């Protein structure tokens, strides 16, 4: 893996890992992985339903970004210490929503990855690379 963004202030950890379609992600022992496919997550409603299933959110989850962020920072109900979120088909991800929504979600995922030392893997597509660069987040490629 190689770093694609100059070092930013803070921990020095990359927020995102970009990978090419067709590459198998490395298996991690004692790790939890949640998968989100862009073609099945075109709206925030789709994403909230998928997040509830993939991340085993409790019944009190309210379908909004604040609630998503709060529960993402907790995840105490998932036994594995290390957690990974994988986004594939990124060009289609939240494509029915204003672009700002996807950027807000990227910001939440970036904070989660940095604060909790988890990983966010994103399939390397034009929109993903562009939006990550615009956000100023660090990333590496795999």
The string of pLDDT tens digits covering residues 123-141 is 877 778 888 877 777 777 7
With a pLDDT cut of 90, the percent of the chain lying above it is: 51
Work out the percent of the chain whose per-residue pLDDT is above 70: 89
| pTM assigned to the model | 0.83
Residue-wise pLDDT tens digits, 28-73: 778 899 999 999 999 999 999 999 999 999 999 999 999 999 999 9
Would you state the structure tokens that stand for residue 7, as one six-digit string?
Answer: 């070092």
How far, in Å, CA of 139 to CA of 14, rounded? 5
Length of the chain: 142
pLDDT reported for residue 136: 74
Chain centre distance of CA 119: 8
DSSP state of 104: H
Domains of the chain: 13-20+33-141 (3.30.370.10)
- Distance, CA of 129 to CA of 139 (rounded, Å): 9
Tokens found for residue 76: 């105490």
Residue 67 phi, psi (nearest 5): -65, -40
**How large is the average pLDDT for residues 104-121?**
88
DSSP state of 97: S
For residue 92, give both structure tokens.
């289609």
CA–CA distance, 66 with 58 (Å, rounded to integer): 15
């Amino acid at each position: 893996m190689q770093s694609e963004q100059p070092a930013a202030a803070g921990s020095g950890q990359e927020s995102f890992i970009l990978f090419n379609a067709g590459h198998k992600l490395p298996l991690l022992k004692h790790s939890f992985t949640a998968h989100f496919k862009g073609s099945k997550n075109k709206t925030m409603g789709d994403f909230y339903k998928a997040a509830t299933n993939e991340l085993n959110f409790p019944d009190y989850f309210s379908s909004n970004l604040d609630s998503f962020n709060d529960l993402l920072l907790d995840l105490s109900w998932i036994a594995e210490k290390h957690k990974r979120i994988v986004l594939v088909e990124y060009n289609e991800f939240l494509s029915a929503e204003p672009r700002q929504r996807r950027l807000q979600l990227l910001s939440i995922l970036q904070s989660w990855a940095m604060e909790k030392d988890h990983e966010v893997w994103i399939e390397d597509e034009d929109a993903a690379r562009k939006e990550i660069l615009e956000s100023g987040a660090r990333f590496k490629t795999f």
